[in-house]
Chains A and B, each alone.
Chain A
Amino acid sequence: MTIRLGGILFGLGITGVLLLWSLLPGALNFAFPTKPDYYAFQEKNIAPEGGFSFDGPLGTWDTQQLQRGYQVYKEVCSACHSLKFVAFRNLQEIGYTEAEVRAEAASWEVPGIDPKDGSVVKRPGLPTDMFPSPYANEVEARAFNNNALPPDLTLITKARNDGVHYVYSLMQGYNEVDPEDQAKSPDFETPAGLYFNEYFYNINIAMPPQLLDGIVTYSDGTEATEEQMAQDITAFLTWAGEPTLIKRKQTGWFVIGFLLFATFFGFMSYKTVWAGKKKKKGDVELV
């Protein structure tokens, strides 16, 4: 009885405090809002027509596309963005041969140590090296980029909500301000040094538009339109973020197949074991 009485008192007390001191003032503010409307970014990303080759449970990598994406990363993105969890040797997974990887790695300069005097030098990359950062440290990165820090791109497609489509959309999001939205927020303007991009959470992004038509010349002859490059770099970064993505999905089918098989037999044996223990129509007596 004491517990119940104490419980009722505590329950009424905490509910009263909540309703009178928290809900009441909050509800008043809610009923009479004073907050102005603000310019909101696009929360809905766009997707390429037909989707990506790696979409869905049956997706696969398009190695041609990954190699094109790698070319975009190398020739455009890598000027400012690192890819620190990916090693050159990983390029073998997107269809390069061992010799090609060796040559590709050697075309990058990575930080090293002079074997004679131990001084810090640049040396050609080896397959075991990770992709080098374009900047020595964060201070240098910010100094070169109007105090903005270009994020590492390894996990970018996982580190944003709907990240794959986010990257694809952002690359093509440098549009004009919608006149209707501009009319709603007349004070809105993009500050100097920033660029309007409706897919960026802050609307104004420090990164200038990059994928200008024809900025890379694809070695496989594909036409380098903005849309094409956006698709390719998105595919490459999806691979960089999770190289095991396709292996994971393929393993999944095998595991689920096995589990369904085992579950089916489990269910049949359950039925057999319980036969006669449950009431069925026409049952008269138990076993």
Chain B
Amino acid sequence: MSFAWANSYEPKNPFMVWMDEKLPLPRLVYNAIGAGYPVPRNLNYMWNFGVLAGFFLVFQIVTGIILAMHYAANTDVAFGQIEHIMRNVNYGWLMKYAHANGASFFFMVIYLHIFRGFYYSSYKAPREMIWLLGVVIFLLMMATAFMGYVLPWGQMSFWGAKVITGLFGAIPFIGEPLQVWLVGGYAPNNSTLNRFFSLHFLLPFVILGAVILHVWALHIPGSSNPTGVEVKKESDTVPFHPYYTAKDGWFLGLVLTLFAFVVFFAPNALGHAENWIEANPLSTPALIVPEWYFYPFYAILRAFTGDLTIPFTGIVLIEAKLLGVIAMFGSILLWFFLPWLDKSPVRSGSYRPMFRIFFWIFVIDMAALFYLGGAKAEEPYIVMSQIATAWYFLHFLVILPIVSQIEVPKALPFSITEAVLGKDEPAAQTAAEPAE
């Protein structure tokens, strides 16, 4: 596709020749995820999670459509419909558990995919657009997952919806009317459930569209690789098929085995017991927390406990709730600026000694936020989440720009071939020429 040596599609039987003339869909697939796409030969297993994320998107759409056939978005019956699916629908229990845990696994592989991007700076030129689209996909996923969690209409569904939609109420002036308009009332109700169901059905297809753009953008420069050195010549690459289809294939089997363990032997381990109680607007659960995949951002939201005031005057400039909302949305939106915050010319963290240390500190920081987001809102968790939140912002906005200025990177290998084989022929050093 983008390299001169890429295999070109040659239909063999007459039907495929005819098809290629009328609608070159097989050619498109061949060039996108077939033998026509040259990929760096040195990708490690962190490069498997993109394909896995695609798999789980399709998996969620398929199980979701089946569940939607048996579900009813009405607050009077929604909770009972889930029980109907669990008890009376053939293999309904499997669909329900596979869909709920499928969301968890989708986020798991997405987080690993994103952290691959952080470590290997996959966001850097010429791949900024892939990264930007990826952040859009992540935001869409969060919205979809949040609305999906409301559908069983359990206690956590209701109270989670109430807390999250309540965030819009923190916006000055327009907040409250906006919240009432979004929810369709003063608290989550039947209108809310209906619109959330509608959007929960729609958004996965929007995600699918964004994923197609993400993959399209990927095929312009081609995949990055663990050295961060760009592809120079044919010996640097292998065709996607069969090399990476085989690698992704067996790895998918491994992850699905793990997934099956959770679905069949611990399907409720990642959820909350509270959500097996039907929603009751008059009874507030002792601890309202979202699903685990939102914990880091929930921890950031809850970290802001004090209003921003002018000291000793009592004048409130910004309320704590609004600060939390700004920080929570800001914590993800700042990913959009990452390609311009980190100006180091070296991509791979493996060749950036200083960045590498801070990367692992950041991983620990994220792990702490994951834990703290689900913890009770009491000490010492509050102080800990405040420190972890502060580090989160310092890492992206202060440490990354400064490190990229002052760091002395290690020497890069001449080529991917050299990184793999330990040697390369200097005579063969010619820059890759894009075919079109």
A interface with B by C-beta (< 8 Å): 3-4, 7-8, 10-12, 14-15, 17-19, 21-27, 29-30, 33, 57, 85, 90, 151, 154-155, 158-161, 163, 201, 241-244, 248-249, 251-253, 255-256, 259-260, 262-263, 266-267, 269-270, 273-274, 277-279, 283, 286
Quick one: CB contact mask for B78-118 with A, threshold 8 Å, 1 for yes?
Answer: 00100100110000011001000000000000000000000
A195 to B390, CA, bound (A): 46
Chain B residues whose C-beta falls within 8 Å of the C-beta of A4 in the assembled complex: 340-341, 343, 401
Cβ of B199 under 8 Å from chain A: no
Residues 220-251 of B, flagged 1 when their CB comes within 8 A of A and 0 if not, give 00000000000000010010001100110110
A21 is contacted by which of B247, B264, B306, B393 (Cβ under 8 Å)? B306
**Minimum-distance CB pairs A-B, first 7:** A11-B397, A252-B264, A263-B253, A266-B250, A159-B276, A21-B306, A3-B340
Is A26's CB under 8 angstroms from B383's CB?
A: yes
Instruction: A26-B305, A30-B382, A256-B260 given; name 15 further pairs at CB < 8 Å.
Output: A3-B337, A4-B343, A7-B337, A10-B397, A15-B393, A18-B390, A24-B306, A29-B379, A248-B94, A252-B261, A266-B246, A267-B250, A269-B250, A278-B420, A279-B421
Contact B80 A7 (CB under 8 A): no
Known: A15-B390, A18-B390, A252-B264. A7 touches B401 (CB 8 A): yes
Chain A nearest Cβ from B172, distance in angstroms? 16
Inter-chain CA distance A14–B326, complex, in Å, is 9
Which B residues form the contact surface with A (CB < 8 A)? 41, 80, 83, 86-87, 93-94, 97, 235, 238, 242-243, 246-247, 249-250, 252-254, 256-257, 260-261, 263-265, 267-268, 273-274, 276-277, 286, 303-309, 320, 323, 326-327, 330, 334, 337, 340-341, 343, 379-380, 382-383, 386-387, 389-390, 393-394, 396-398, 401-402, 417, 420-422
Q: Which residue of B has the minimal Cβ distance to A254? A: B264
Residues of chain A lying within 8 A (CB to CB) of residue B86:
242, 244
Contact among A8, A155, A255, A283 for B397, CB-based, below 8 A = A8
**Are A30 and B254 in contact, CB atoms less than 8 angstroms apart?**
no
A-B CB contact pairs (8 Å), 20 listed: A7-B334, A7-B401, A10-B330, A11-B397, A14-B327, A14-B330, A18-B390, A21-B309, A22-B320, A85-B87, A155-B83, A155-B277, A158-B273, A159-B273, A159-B276, A248-B264, A249-B265, A260-B257, A269-B250, A277-B41
B83 touches A154 (CB 8 A): yes
Closest Cβ of chain A to B128, distance in Å, is 12
Q: B259's closest neighbor in chain A, by CB?
A: A259
Which of A4, A29, A273, A277 neighbours the largest number of chain B CB atoms within 10 Å of its CB?
Answer: A4
B306:A25 contact, CB within 8 angstroms = yes
Task: Tell whether, in the assembled complex, residue A26 and residue B41 are in contact, meaning their CB atoms are under 8 Å apart.
Answer: no
Contacts of B398 on A, CB cut-off 8 Å? 7-8, 11-12, 15
B286 close to A201 (CB less than 8 A):
yes
Chain B: minimal CB distance from A200 (Å): 13
Residues of chain B lying within 8 A (CB to CB) of residue A269: 246, 249-250
Q: Decide: B93 and A17 in contact? CB cutoff 8 A.
A: no
Interface contact B401-A8, CB-CB below 8 Å: yes
> Which residues of B are found within 8 Å of A252, using beta-carbon distances?
260-261, 263-265
Q: Give B97 Cβ to nearest chain A Cβ, in Å.
A: 8
Q: Who on chain A is nearest to B241 by CB?
A: A273
Chain A residue at smallest Cβ distance from B41:
A277
A171 CB to closest chain B CB, in angstroms?
18
CB distance from B79 to the nearest CB of A (A): 9
Contacts of A30 in B (CB 8 A): 379-380, 382-383
Indicate if the CB atoms of B253 and A259 lie closer than 8 Å: yes
Main secondary structure of the interface of B (DSSP, over half): helix
Whole-angstrom CA separation of A26 from B383 in the bound complex: 7
- Shortest distance from the beta carbon of B223 to any chain A beta carbon, whole Å: 16
**Within 8 Å CB of B94, what residues of A?**
248, 251
- Per the bound structure, the CA–CA distance linking A115 and B326 in Å amounts to 62
Nearest B-chain residue to A155, judged by Cβ: B276
Known A26-B305, A256-B257: A11·B396 in contact at CB below 8 Å: yes
In the complex, what distance in Å separates the CA atom of A243 from the CA atom of B341?
54
Chain A residues with CB under 8 Å of B267's CB are 248
On whether the beta carbons of A262 and B253 are closer than 8 Å, the reply is yes
**A273 touching B242 by the CB < 8 A rule?**
yes
Q: How far apart sit A286 and B42, CA to CA, in the bound complex (Å)?
A: 14
B345–chain A nearest beta-carbon distance, Å: 15
* A274 contacts B334, C-beta separation under 8 Å: no
CB distance from B413 to the nearest CB of A (A): 13
Closest CB in chain A relative to B82 CB, distance in Å = 10
A161: chain B residues within 8 A (beta carbon): 273
Contact yes or no, B383 A259, CB < 8 A: no
The answer to whether A7 and B305 touch (CB under 8 A), given A155-B276, A256-B264, A269-B250, is no
Given A26, A163, A277, which contacts B382 in the complex, CB threshold below 8 Å?
A: A26
Q: Tell whether, in the assembled complex, residue B394 and residue A18 are in contact, meaning their CB atoms are under 8 Å apart.
A: no
Question: Taking CB as reference atom, which chain A residue is nearest B277?
Answer: A159
Q: In angstroms, how far is the closest chain B Cβ from the Cβ of A206?
A: 15
Q: Which residues in A have their C-beta under 8 angstroms from that of B80?
A: 85
- Residues on A with C-beta less than 8 A from B83 are 85, 154-155
Q: Which B residues lie within 8 Å of A159 (CB)?
A: 273-274, 276-277
CA distance A185 to B273 in the complex (A): 30
Task: State A19–B387 Cα separation when bound (angstroms).
Answer: 8
Q: Which A residue sits closest to B93, measured CB to CB?
A: A244
The residues of A that contact B249 with a CB separation of less than 8 Å are 266, 269-270
**A274 contact from B247, B252, B386, B387, Cβ within 8 A:** B247
Say yes or no: B304 contacts A22, CB within 8 Å.
yes
Q: Let me know if A22 and B303 touch, CB within 8 A.
A: yes
Kindly list chain A residues whose C-beta atoms are within 8 Å of the C-beta of B401: 4, 7-8
Known contacts A22-B304, A277-B238; is A263 also within 8 Å of B257 by CB? yes
Given A11-B394, A283-B421, A255 contacting B309 (CB threshold 8 A): no
A249 to B262, CA, bound (A): 11
Could you tell me the distance between the alpha carbons of A29 and B386 in the complex, rounded to whole angstroms?
14
For A160, the chain B residues whose CB sits under 8 A away are 273
Question: Which chain B residues lie closer than 8 Å to A279 at the CB level?
Answer: 420-422
CB pair A259 B397 closer than 8 Å: no
Query: Residue of B at shortest CB range from A163?
Result: B273
- Give the distance to chain B from A212, nearest Cβ to Cβ, in Å: 28
CA distance A283 to B386 in the complex (A): 53
**Residue of B at shortest CB range from A3?**
B340
Report yes or no: A14 in contact with B93, Cβ–Cβ below 8 A.
no
Contact of B307 among A10, A21, A154, A158 (CB under 8 A): A21
